[in-house]
Amino acid sequence: MIGEDNSIDFLEIWDDYSSEEKTPPKPVRRILKKREVRDGMIRPGVKGNLVAAQTLIKKERYKEALIRLERVLTEDPDQREALFRSALVRKHLGMLDEALRALNRLIELEPDFAGLRYERGACHFEMKNWDQAMEEFEVYVHLAGDNPDEKRFVKKALKLHAEARKKYSS
């Protein structure tokens, strides 16, 4: 998928979507319209690397996805989508300290985004930082409120909060 010059094999990305008879996401369509594709290869910039990272994540190629996300963050350290995806990928790879750093930066940029608190609580939970996990889950539940999109995560957060409280107490 990735060429020697760090270009992205657009045809492989396109095949993923056409084989499932799905329309490619807007960034891929925009790249096509801008004719940034030459000989089937996208010259990666922020958009190209984000698209490639998402494709790699779907294929569970997390280390390669992280490389793409790091390239975006080198160009734009506050790129929110890249920060969030890199935090999730790092968490998945067990790089919890690095995931927390990305989540901390995102919370500075978006302090009222409930999902960030949930992810930060989950990192602390995995690190056995029970008091910090409980605190994050409490903030998450407060920020999520009655948002129907957050309902199943609220239940999970409350369950994890109770489990952390039990472990913290023992």
In the chain, the DSSP E strands lie at 8-9, 37-38, 41-42
How far apart, in whole angstroms, are the C-alpha atoms of residue 109 and residue 129?
A: 24
By the 10 Å C-beta count (0-12 exposed, 13-18 middle, 19+ buried), 138 is classed as: middle
Q: pTM above 0.85?
A: no
- At 170, the pLDDT band (50, 70, 90 cuts) reads low
Cα–Cα dist 160/10, whole Å: 41
Q: Are residues 83 and 21 in the same domain?
A: yes
Kindly state whether residues 101 and 116 are assigned to the same domain: no
pLDDT digits (tens, 9 = 90+) for 51-92: 889 999 999 999 999 999 999 898 889 999 999 999 999 999
Does 119 lie in the same domain as 105? no
pLDDT tens for 17-50 read 545 556 666 665 555 444 444 444 444 578 888 8
Residue 154 belongs to what domain range?
112-170
Query: Are 123 and 165 in the same domain?
Result: yes
Greater pLDDT, 169 or 20 = 169
